[in-house]
Structure 1
Amino acid sequence: MCDPSQDGNWESDSTIDYSKINNRLESFYNSSWSKKVSPLQLAEAGFIFTGVSDRVRCFSCQKTVENWSQEDDPVDRHIQVSPSCTFLRCTHYNRFKSNPHMPLSNGGLHDGTEGYIDYQLRTRAIVDEAPYPRNRNMKSEEARLETFSSWPRSAPVRPRDLAQAGLFYLGKEDKVECFSCGGKLSGWEPGDTPWNEHEKHFSHCFYILGHDVGNVPLERDRLDTFARVQHPIDHELLAKAGFYSKGVGDGVICFRCGGGLKDWDPEDNPWEEHAKYYPGCSFLLSEKGQEFVNTIQLQEPKYSQQVRHIISPRLKNQFLKLLQFPSFC
């Protein structure tokens, strides 16, 4: 089984789990990163920003890459400097498969047919063609939580934890089902953790693996992140638009697309700003529709959007000189 976090230990902050893509994204948004390569693409390739020039480091193999240009593919450059990186081989297997000259790690990638199939499902080298999510009516965490109205009070696990783990109540005994993979669990015992049990019994579940299967987290969870933040925009409006607070200034991040925004003005509309900078966000499109996004995109030049909202004011002039067109979306 692939474990991309095993190659090495991140030097600077052992308290942050950089195996999670959102934490890798944070390293770019909380810094001076202003290069032409998308933070999302870099994070997907396993990189975090070191804070030095445009140097990034893989959280797994710890190899560094710098001197980026707009045409660079982060995965390709990662492969060039570290072809044996465990993270790459777990998440970008097809890149190696298509290049017969790439060396395999010692002993090969897999031990046994079952492990190989599991690996391929995890990395989508092969795909279960059944529709996902299996139960679209339960892709909202709020909808899942509402199914627990008759949940046994004596049960050792909380409805909220079950709903967060993608599970909804079937109304009988303590049996629950995953909205994504359709896996069913019951017989809960003290000490059980919904996430762990879900992963243990249904390790192929795309929701557990972190793929975008349309999950909509509770809006109030996003709202809670603004509890200690002074923000010029109404917190409820930001949460409704998919944003949660970074805890730094007025910066926010979308839970779905990972897009970050800052330097808000009191008159800004969160949905409109979301559509200006991250028009491809699946949550935005599902909530507001393509017509809304198209209308917003036609309202003002992308240059002014990019400069005003993602880069700090003191870097505006420098940004305009360096970039010929926007690159963060």
Structure 2
Amino acid sequence: NVAEEVTDKKEEEEISIEKRVNNKIKTEMMDCIEPRSALRDNLTPLKPSTNLRPYQVNPVNNTNHVDEVDNYPDYRFEAARLASYENWPARYMDPEKLAAAGFYYTGEVDRVKCFECGVEIFEWVEGDNPMSDHQRWRPACKFVRKQPCGNVPIGVDPSTVPAPSVRSRDVCGRYGEDFRPTASPDFRTGQTEFQFPSPARLGSLGLAKPKGPTHPEYASYDARLATFENWPKSMSQTKEQLADAGFYYTGRGDGTQCYHCGGGLKHWEPKDDPWEQHAKWFTKCYYVLMVKGQAFINSVLGQETTPPTRE
């Protein structure tokens, strides 16, 4: 019995000590915490920023032909391009023809710019053909080549035209090149190498300073295409493929000729690709270089193909 009493007292003392320790810990913890009311009194209420305003993103209003990126006129629309010529100074150049050729007026002297490829042309003279000059200076332009590029001709219902995709705009560096309609291609240094290599680059490729087209009357795709009216129907190569590759029909057999370099090809095989054969046999043709690029020419030269006969 004595042993049991001693044990009970010891347990009671241990419990009492544990309670005192716990109470002390709680007290110390509470001393470190401000009451909720004190916290609430010390807080400064948050106010909405006076700089913030509610807004909503509106779709592009195609009826106004406005680009949603920079709020500029949407020059995909021929009507918007035509409207840009309000203060056009060169009365001998028809704004309707310029707009139809993909150009809008920049507001600087007589400088115009293509909505698609960005090429800029100025110093027009009476008798210049906007579309021909566009094709001459930027044959790879999707608009010139009649490829889908978003062009909206006059007369198309704007409400049926999808809004342009939002694109980031690189404001660092030049966009487009400047050309005079009556000048010759000079491939000046600093322009885009893919289409207009520098003289140093041309030298490394074994190319001299370029000359103009051998047959400028066929510089346009439509002019070349028109020559294939009597193209043999048995040929695998279509007139569209050949015209796109720079060829016009000579009217003899299956003979074709490049409007720019003057190179001719005939005796086409069924599997012959016009672009590949053009690049293979006339590696220094500037039309091929401008449209397809040097990498394409290099890849073609590495292929084993049975070529048509070179004229």
TM-score range relative to shorter protein: 0.3 to 0.5
Give the alignment's TM-score, normalised by structure 1. Answer: 0.34
Larger Rg: 2
